[in-house]
Amino acid sequence: MKKWTLGLTLVLAIAVLTACGGKKYEAVPINEEVDVCAICKMQVKDDAYATQLTTKDGKTYKFDDIGCMNEWKKTNGTENIGMDYVRDYNDKEWVEYKKATYVYDASLRTPMAYGIVSFKDKKAAEDFIAEQGVGKLMKADELVSHTWEQNKESMNMGDMHGDGDMNSVMSGDSMEMTEK
């Protein structure tokens, strides 16, 4: 019986040590083999659209699009979040959500069609807007009031085949989704 308790204490001790060592938050790498978006269940690609957050008890959630992370925050609240990260569009470096600069345009293609890309500095974001010719520059605090609408419908309205009605239904639905 002594051996048991000894073993258990040892295991516990190791666990305590490893847990306490990692109090500082750090972005974890994306593993495409296993990581799926916590909201939409799609594979999280190791690309510039990936985001992640770590809760205060150390659970990490990964998302394939910043819009999905926003959905998570709406459902679960932000009080328990230890740290959240987005990625720089150009070099995929992890950037703290609060410190990043964002560019939105409905025509930007992102995995879940939220149309938002992130940058580590304002200069890079402005360059991107200049290059694309479209885009609205935003800081993290401005994202709070963002509509988070998904571009579920094509941009070229001229090519729609009598889909006017459907279009209005669709945007209505996506509003409903974002407000849930």
List residues bridging with 174 in a β-sheet: none
Among 5, 41, 133, 145, interactor with another protein by CB under 8 A: 41
Find out whether 69 and 63 touch, Cβ atoms under 8 Å: yes
**Should residue 28 be labelled a site residue for another protein when binding is judged by CB under 8 A?**
no
Nearer to another protein, 24 or 145 (CB): 24
Q: Pattern 8-27, binding to another protein, x per CB under 8 A?
A: ---xx-xxx-xx--x-----
Which residue intervals of the chain are DSSP H helices?
A: 2-21, 66-76, 122-132, 140-143, 164-179
The answer to whether residues 50 and 62 touch, using CB atoms and an 8 Å cutoff, is: yes
CA separation for the pair 21, 14 (Å, rounded): 11
Task: State which of positions 110-139 bind another protein (CB under 8 A).
Answer: 113
Q: How far is the CB of 15 from another protein (least distance, A)?
A: 4
Q: How many whole angstroms separate alpha carbon 146 and alpha carbon 95?
A: 20
Q: How far is the CB of 166 from another protein (least distance, A)?
A: 6
Does residue 79 interact with another protein by CB under 8 A? no
Rounded CA separation 173/26 (Å): 36
The contact set with another protein (CB under 8 A) reads 7, 11-12, 14-16, 18-19, 22, 31-36, 40-43, 45-47, 57-59, 113, 150-156, 159, 161, 163, 166, 170, 177
